[in-house]
Chains A and B, each alone.
Chain A
Amino acid sequence: MNTKILRNLAFTIFTCYVTIAVSETPHWSHDEQSTWWAIQDTTQNVPLNYPFGECGIGKHQSPVDLASATIIDSKSLNKLAALYDTDTAPVFFNSGHGIQVNTSEDYSGVLMIGEESFPLIQFHFHEPSEHVVGGKSFPAELHYVHINEDGRIIVLAVAVDIGEENPVFGTILDNIPHEEGGQNASSGIQINPAELLPADLDPANLDYYTVAGSLTTPPCSEGVQWYLLPKVITISAAQLVQLKDIYTNNARAPQNLNGRSLLSTQ
C-alpha cells in the first residue's frame, strides 16, 4: 500500500515537472550538463523554478559505467521481447539535441516485459554512447523509448560500434531534417525499428542487463527502467561522420551508481 502511495506521489511530481517541461522547457545543452540542475525557470515559484533539479540531486541517474556495477545473474528475470513491426508513417525529427524517429500515432510496435506491454514512442541516437564500460564509450548509442498507459518509461539501449554499413541507419540519416526542431512526416518511407537490433539476437526473447535509472536529458526524471542489450550493432565510419555532422557530443556523462546493481539474464 505504501509502495502504491509513493509511486502515485512520484508520478504526480513527475507529471508536474513534465507538464512544466512540455509547456515551457528552459533552454539546455549538453555542453552545460554539469549545471542542468541549476537552470532556472523564472516564471515559476520555489521549487518549480528549478525544473531540472533532479539532474543534480537524483540518486538513480542515468547513464552509468557498466563495468563499475556488480552484475547479478538471474535466470528468473522477465522475458523481454521487442515486438516491433513496420511503421508506415514514421516522423523523422531533429529534436535540437539529437536525431530521432517518432513512431506514428497508430503504430502497434511494443516492448513486452513479461506480460506487460510498452508501446514504442520514438527512438534516437547519442554520439558518443552514454553508457560506458570501464570509462570507455562506444561511438554511438541507440535508445528505444517506450511509454505504457500508466506513463511508465522503459528505454531499451543498444551500443553502436564502427563496422558494416547499416542501411536502416542510412535511411534515417538521409531523411532527418538538418534544422533544429525540423520534422519530416511525409517521407513516404517505411521503417521497421526491429531491423536496427543486433542481427544475432532473437527479438522475441532478448538477453539483457537491466538497471533502474532516469532520463539522460533534462528533467532527468527517475523511475525509468533501462534494458541494455549485451550485443552491439554497427554503422560504417562514413555513417558516423554523417551523424557527427548533424549532432556530436550529445551524450550525458556517467552518473554515480549509488549502490545500484545490474541484473542480467546471462
Chain B
Amino acid sequence: MLIKLFLAVSLSLSVASCFAESDGNKSKSLIDPSQQKRLSTDSSQQKQAAQPNASTKSTDSQSPQNSNQENKPSMIDFCRKNPC
C-alpha cells in the first residue's frame, strides 16, 4: 500500500515538473496584462504614426538632399562612438 502511494505521489510530481518545464521554455512578457491600459481600435491614422514615414523614402531619393547625404556618415559615426 505504501509503495502504491509512493508511486502515485512520484507520478504526480513528475507530471507537474513536466508542465513547469514547458512553462520555463516560454519567455516572460514585458508588460503584465494586468498593467496594460488597452484601447482597441484600428485606424489608418495610427498606422501612419507607427510608420517611420514610409512614403518619404522615394521623395527623398529623388531630390538632392545634401544635408541628408552628409547626415549619414556623421550619424553612423556618432552612434559607433556613443551609446545613442
Contacts and interface: CB of A to CB of B under 8 A. Distances in A.
Contact of A114 (B25, B51, B60, B83): B51
B80 A122 contact: yes
Interface stretch (A7-15, A39-47, A167-175): A7-15
Question: Which of B43, B46, B68, B82 has the most C-beta atoms of chain A within 10 angstroms of its own C-beta?
Answer: B82
Given A71-B37, A71-B38, A74-B42, A18 B30 contact: no
Given A4-B59, A133-B35, A217-B83, A152 B78 contact: no
B57 to A, nearest CB: 6
B28 A231 contact: yes
Size category of the binding interface on chain A: 35 or more
Interface residues of B, number: 47
B65 interface: yes
A98 B83 contact: yes
A149 B57 CA distance: 9
Interface of A: 4, 7-8, 11-12, 14-15, 18-19, 21-22, 25, 66-67, 69-78, 91, 93, 95, 97-98, 100, 102, 113-116, 121-122, 124, 133-134, 143, 145, 147, 149-155, 159, 161, 163, 198-201, 209-210, 212, 215-217, 225, 228-234, 261, 263
